[in-house]
Amino acid sequence: MTDWNKLEEIKLKTGSTREDYCEYVRDRIYYDDKTWFIREFLSDSNQVIMYTRPRRFGKTLMLSTIRAFVEKEYDRNGHLIDKRPFFEGRKIMTAEPEILAQMGQYPVIWYTLKDCNQVNFKDFSLWLKSTLSNAARRHDYLLNSAHLRDEEKSLFAQILDRKLDASNTANAFVNLADWIYRDTGIKPIILIDEYDTPLQWAHQFGYYDEVLPIMRSLLGASLKTNGNFTRALLTGCLRISKESIFTGFNNPVVHSILTNDGKEFFGFDHDEVQQMLHYYELDDEYPEIERWYDGYIFGENKVFNPYCMVLCVAAILAEKRMIQNGRTGNGIGPYQSYWSNSSGNAIINELIRKHPECRSDVENLLAGNTVEKPIYEFITYRDLERLPDVIWTFLLYAGYLKAIRSYNDANEQLISELKIVNREVRSIFPQFISAFMMDNIRKTNLDDFLQALWKGNTETITSYLNSLLISTISYHDRKEAFYHGIMTGILSCIPDIEVKSNRESGNGRPDIVIRDYQNDRALVLEFKYANHFSDLRPKLSEAFNQIQNRHYADELFAEGFLHVTGIGISFFAKRCIAQAIQFEGGMS
């Protein structure tokens, strides 16, 4: 029998979401060997290369791996750092001599833009200065360079001190590469992580027009073909159009999720997942891991989400240790939607709200079906609002949907057959439904609905909720938790009442308890989900009886409330029925 308490003592650590390759080596963290990508990068004949992948698919870690291999670094005593110990036993060490000869030979300029999350242009400007300063700080030897003029050293000092205006940062990016080349005699390698994140945030918070020219100038000036750099690698989520941002230099060679480039270096394939599970003695977990986190298709490669895989394996191990020690967890379990909690879904909610015409297509996707939509190779963030069909391109490239088949139509427009990726991503879509729902809620008179609840007017309650359900998306995997979320959302819009969800009360756990302290009254709501329309009445009786039999009103009377109304509601698809009972000034 496996001793789960001692397993991690003899195995590499897991559960890390770190993004620095060298930390994986130093701290003995499990690493799925993707180092062969270094050879692919250094062997590519193109000077500027871009890979677009969804968030949390190891792009930052990959760039860190490349930097660890190629960067010429010195320790604090001025001694050249030997890179070979960091790559002993890795696949890259079997590459050709001309590849291995490039280990530790280049200065590297690293720009990571993924942490851009500013809500206004002023904060963005401060962030950009900090980003440039961090990139330049690795090259502070330029302050003493005999190859730079005094005014250039002064400008470099301003970069380090974050004193440049945002409008001057683009030239600073270009100057940095030029100064490094002049000082070292070696053209640097440029690595730019999540290049499109600043544009996404700027679009979301309304300062896109101010950021666009800066990013256009920055990338256009820094990456002119035959500039002062050896080669450059960019990663991002979307492939932004040349007219929007890539003016000033030839388009990079783009490897998107639709191009077939052989082996996939971002994410885990089936063999890599099975290898990791076997290493941690979790082979039996594979079917459930596959159901939750598999399903991405990059080119012709089927891929698991690596971020979720690592976190889920760590959670499984933690759960097994707890069980072995005679303890129980929080009831959630290791299989969760890790990716959705780390990825910004606000822009998706906003897009779907602005394009209600896509509602029927979302219904089809939630039902497990596919939709065929045009996919645009080049887009701008402005297109997301102007062109309804572009939302599908964004959902595909952002990792919410997968293309199970693609073809060119009679007009040479790329068409993809799209489907929700997996169970984890599917669990995100109720958030989009809630966005529709909340828009409709804001347009209605909630006072009338609340009064109907206090009075136990089941006809008005039923009519209001049915009207709301009809106007939203069909969701074929609805359970009580979904309707619970709808009701919580409605009630949270009403002022001057306290809404408590799933709190201990009486002999059970009512779904929602509402307290109106000003009027000494309270509501107890219990919901049930019916699998068939014919089950609506029996489920309603079950909810209603639960309110009475478990004495949910007792605690409320004990708190001093004079009037308690209990309401049971049963749901099926877009239909519901309600039943109410009034408890007056005594125990239930």
Extents of the domains making up the chain: 4-11+268-326, 32-255, 341-427, 430-584
Asked if residues 573 and 478 have their Cβ atoms less than 8 Å apart, the reply is yes
Asked if residues 59 and 194 have their Cβ atoms less than 8 Å apart, the reply is yes
**Amino acid present at 348:** I
E strands, 246-290, are 253-255
Amino acid 234: pLDDT: 94
Could you tell me the pLDDT band of residue 166, with boundaries at 50, 70 and 90? low
DSSP state of 478: -
Which position has the higher pLDDT, 505 or 315? 315
CATH number of 32-255: 3.40.50
Strand pairing class (401-408; 414-420): antiparallel
- CA distances 229 to 42, 167, 191, 396, 545, Å, are 13, 22, 11, 33, 74
**Amino acid present at 216:** R
Q: Is the pLDDT of residue 493 over 90?
A: no
Q: Is the pLDDT of residue 450 over 60?
A: yes
Asked if residues 298 and 267 have their Cβ atoms less than 8 Å apart, the reply is yes
Positive or negative torsion for Cα 150, 156, 162, 165: positive
Could you tell me the pLDDT band of residue 434, with boundaries at 50, 70 and 90? low
Asked if residues 156 and 142 have their Cβ atoms less than 8 Å apart, the reply is yes
Which residue, 421, 245, 457, 435, is CA-closest to 339?
A: 421
Q: How far apart are CA 564 and CA 553, in angstroms?
A: 6
The mean per-residue pLDDT over the stretch 96-102 comes to: 97
Amino acid 194: pLDDT: 94
Could you tell me the pLDDT band of residue 163, with boundaries at 50, 70 and 90? confident
The mean per-residue pLDDT over the stretch 523-531 comes to: 92
Give the pLDDT confidence of 391-413 residue by residue, as tens digits: 899 889 989 999 999 999 998 89
Q: How far apart are CA 40 and CA 23, in angstroms?
A: 23
Could you tell me the pLDDT band of residue 380, with boundaries at 50, 70 and 90? confident
Q: How far apart are CA 239 and CA 231, in angstroms?
A: 19
Name the phi and psi angles at 329, rounded to 5.
Answer: -85, -160
Could you tell me the pLDDT band of residue 178, with boundaries at 50, 70 and 90? very high
Asked if residues 30 and 84 have their Cβ atoms less than 8 Å apart, the reply is no
State percent of the chain over pLDDT 70.
Answer: 88
Q: Is the pLDDT of residue 370 over 90?
A: yes
Q: Is the pLDDT of residue 457 over 80?
A: yes
**Amino acid present at 585:** G
Q: How far apart are CA 543 and CA 417, in angstroms?
A: 42
Q: How far apart are CA 382 and CA 232, in angstroms?
A: 27
Give the pLDDT confidence of 28-48 residue by residue, as tens digits: 999 999 999 999 999 999 999
Which residue, 104, 100, 61, 306, is CA-closest to 191?
A: 61
SS3 label, residue 481: helix
Strand pairing class (414-420; 371-374): antiparallel
SS3 label, residue 77: coil
Asked if residues 424 and 293 have their Cβ atoms less than 8 Å apart, the reply is yes
Q: Is the pLDDT of residue 210 over 70?
A: yes
The mean per-residue pLDDT over the stretch 367-375 comes to: 91
Tell me how long the chain is: 588
- CA distances 148 to 109, 152, 175, 183, Å, are 18, 6, 11, 8
Residue with token string 């007009």: 411
Hey, what's the torsion of the CAs at 504, 507, 513, 519, to 10 degrees?
Answer: -120
Amino acid 344: pLDDT: 60
Find the helix or strand (DSSP H, E) in which 522 lies: strand 521-529
End-to-end CA separation in angstroms for the chain: 51
Q: How many Cβ atoms are within 10 Å of 81's Cβ, its own excluded?
A: 13
The pTM of the full predicted model, rounded to 2 decimals, is 0.81
Contacts of 49 (CB under 8 A, 6+ apart): 41, 231, 232, 233, 234, 252, 253, 255
Contacts of 10 (CB under 8 A, 6+ apart): none
Amino acid 338: pLDDT: 86
Q: Is the pLDDT of residue 527 over 80?
A: yes
Write the DSSP assignment of 195-214 as a string of letters: TTHHHHHHHHHT-HHHHHHH
